[in-house]
Amino acid sequence: MEKLMITGGRPLQGIVSISGAKNSAIALIPAAILAESEVILDNLPLLSDVAVYSEILEELGAKVAWEGSQMKIDSSSIKSIPMPNGPVKKLRASYYMMGAMLGRFKEAIIGLPGGCNFEPRPIDQHIKGFEALGATVTNEHGAIHLHAKELRGTKIYLDVSSVGATINIMLAAARAKGATTIENAAKEPEIIDVATLLNSMGAIIKGAGTETIRIEGVSELHGCRHSIIPDRIQAGTYMIAAAATRGNVLIDNVIPKHMEALTAKMQEMGIGIEEYDESIRVLGAPSYGHVDVKALVYPGFPTDLQSPMTSLLTQAQGVSVLSDFVYSNRFKHVPELVRMGAKIRVEGRSAIIEGGQLNAAKVKAADLRAGAALVIAGLTVSEGVTEVAGVEYIDRGYDHLVSNLRLLGADVWRQTE
């Protein structure tokens, strides 16, 4: 078991370059199986979720060549084999195998997804979409069985604007007969990235990034080359870490537009922000004001930055209220931050955070972003060593975390027990 060890108290200084987005990468890789020739993905992040996806595709018979930040996927000879267990259980985004396999083979058997289980995460809207496209869907002993004689375009209204359901329906509908319209679609940048890849593969998708997406089904898709968008959640995590340590960091290879909800909140707190074409500089200040934050669907404040933001708000003066309107109970980081001396209580879907100093402690990440929150908290503490267990969660979403933080001057290392 590995732990992250942190001696904090050093302001982060320097430049960090952000890799491709996890939540794009793990949708683009399954999308590649809809093509019958090679898809090349550039700017791929080096994450355990990506490694698991490459395992899934290889199990199906795809040829996957992954070198550095590039992955070549040749799915010309893949077969439809049931995947009730195995790697699909290791990550959340394995649910995209349902849409991708359904699009390619009109059938699939895929185990229910794993990933960060901070609360029940239903997939009823994905299933509603597949059924509307003409598939029969059953849950047999924890594996979803999907089958369609043919997929027919239709109109689907999502009850909640789910990122996963929007992408999954796009994947299946890209090779359906006729046109599909998704209403109340999610608008996250990763959805635009997937639509861009599919369109480069020969799909006809319009409106991605708005609440109405129209997909004109085609019978065949082909290979292409695509560069993945920067990871706005990793970027946001480094922005928050820079501010929490009262540092001065240039976060490079970002799309500043994607960061607006966070930059606005940080400015409201009194943190200096300089925006450039593809980078953002964060300038820490001696003291920060308290703010209220509401995590919402895009373009609102991202729920995936809610836990890291909790750590930053422990460094603000006064009482802040951070509410999550995407997940009702994503607060597994809170008891661990309280172990570090934070004054936080959870009321319903809100964390009430009173600013104050933290202390070093032995803490455990129960999910990916809880892990990021604990690392940021540890970086603020100068006395003693903070030990963060649960590194396997952090590795799902942050590549080169230790080397990046060390380059910024942090005293962080991995320790194997």
Ligand X SMILES: C=C(OP(=O)(O)O)C(=O)O
Tokens of 123: 């997939």
265 vs 332, which CB is nearer to ligand X? 332
- Compute CA distances 68 → 15, 37, 191, whole Å: 21, 21, 24
Nearest to 71 by CA among 19, 17, 18: 19
How crowded is residue 147: how many other Cβ atoms within 10 Å of its Cβ? Answer: 16
Say whether residue 92 binds ligand X (CB under 6 A). Answer: yes
Cα separation, 76 vs 8, in Å, equals 50
Kindly state the smallest distance separating residue 98's Cβ from ligand X, in Å: 15
Q: Considering only residues 6-65, where is the footprint of ligand UD1 by CB under 6 A? A: 23, 26
Enclosing H/E stretch for 191: helix 189-200
Kindly state the smallest distance separating residue 24's Cβ from ligand UD1, in Å: 8
Kindly state the smallest distance separating residue 91's Cβ from ligand UD1, in Å: 8
Tokens of 288: 């920060």
Residue of 176, 280, 368, 391 interacting with ligand X (CB under 6 A): 368
Pairing of strands 386-389, 70-74: unpaired
Nearest to 196 by CA among 18, 27, 45: 27
Main-chain dihedrals φ then ψ at residue 188, nearest 5 degrees: -60, 145
Torsion-angle region of 9 (φ positive above 0: left; ψ -120 to 50: alpha; else: beta)? left
92 vs 104, which CB is nearer to ligand X? 92
**Which amino acid is residue 299, in one-letter code?**
P
Kindly state the smallest distance separating residue 26's Cβ from ligand UD1, in Å: 6
Residues facing residue 152 across a β-bridge: 177
Enclosing H/E stretch for 386: strand 386-389
124 vs 278, which CB is nearer to ligand UD1? 124
Kindly state the smallest distance separating residue 102's Cβ from ligand UD1, in Å: 16
Residue of 74, 304, 324, 336 interacting with ligand X (CB under 6 A): 304
Q: Residues touching ligand X: how many (CB under 6 A)? A: 8
Collect all residues with Cβ–Cβ distance below 8 Å to 319 and sequence separation of at least 6.
290, 352, 353, 354, 355
**Among ligand X, ligand UD1, none, what does residue 123 contact (CB within 5–8 Å per kind)?**
ligand UD1
Residue of 369, 389, 404, 405 interacting with ligand X (CB under 6 A): 369
Say whether residue 123 binds ligand UD1 (CB under 6 A). Answer: yes
Annotated catalytic residue 116: yes
Cα separation, 258 vs 239, in Å, equals 13
Residue of 151, 351, 397, 410 interacting with ligand X (CB under 6 A): 397
Say whether residue 116 binds ligand X (CB under 6 A). Answer: yes
- The DSSP 8-state label assigned to residue 176 in this structure reads S
Cα separation, 270 vs 28, in Å, equals 38
Contact range with ligand UD1 by CB under 6 A, out of 159-167, 237-245, 356-364, 384-392: 159-167
Catalytic residue of the set 35, 39, 110, 116: 116
* Contact call for residues 21 and 237 (beta carbons, < 8 A): no
Q: Considering only residues 84-103, where is the footprint of ligand UD1 by CB under 6 A? A: 92-93
- The DSSP 8-state label assigned to residue 10 in this structure reads -
Alpha carbons within 13 A on the beta-carbon side of 264: 12
**Among ligand UD1, ligand X, none, what does residue 366 contact (CB within 5–8 Å per kind)?**
none
118 vs 238, which CB is nearer to ligand UD1? 118
**Among ligand X, ligand UD1, none, what does residue 126 contact (CB within 5–8 Å per kind)?**
ligand UD1
What's the alpha-carbon Rg for the chain, to the nearest Å?
A: 21
Kindly state the smallest distance separating residue 365's Cβ from ligand UD1, in Å: 15
Kindly state the smallest distance separating residue 304's Cβ from ligand UD1, in Å: 5
Task: Give me the 294-333 binding string for ligand UD1, x by CB under 6 A, dash otherwise.
Answer: ---------xx---------------------xx------
Catalytic residues: 116
Binding residues for ligand X, per CB under 6 A? 92-93, 115-116, 304, 368-369, 397
Binding site for ligand UD1 (CB under 6 A): 23, 26, 92-93, 121-126, 160, 162-165, 186, 303-304, 326-327
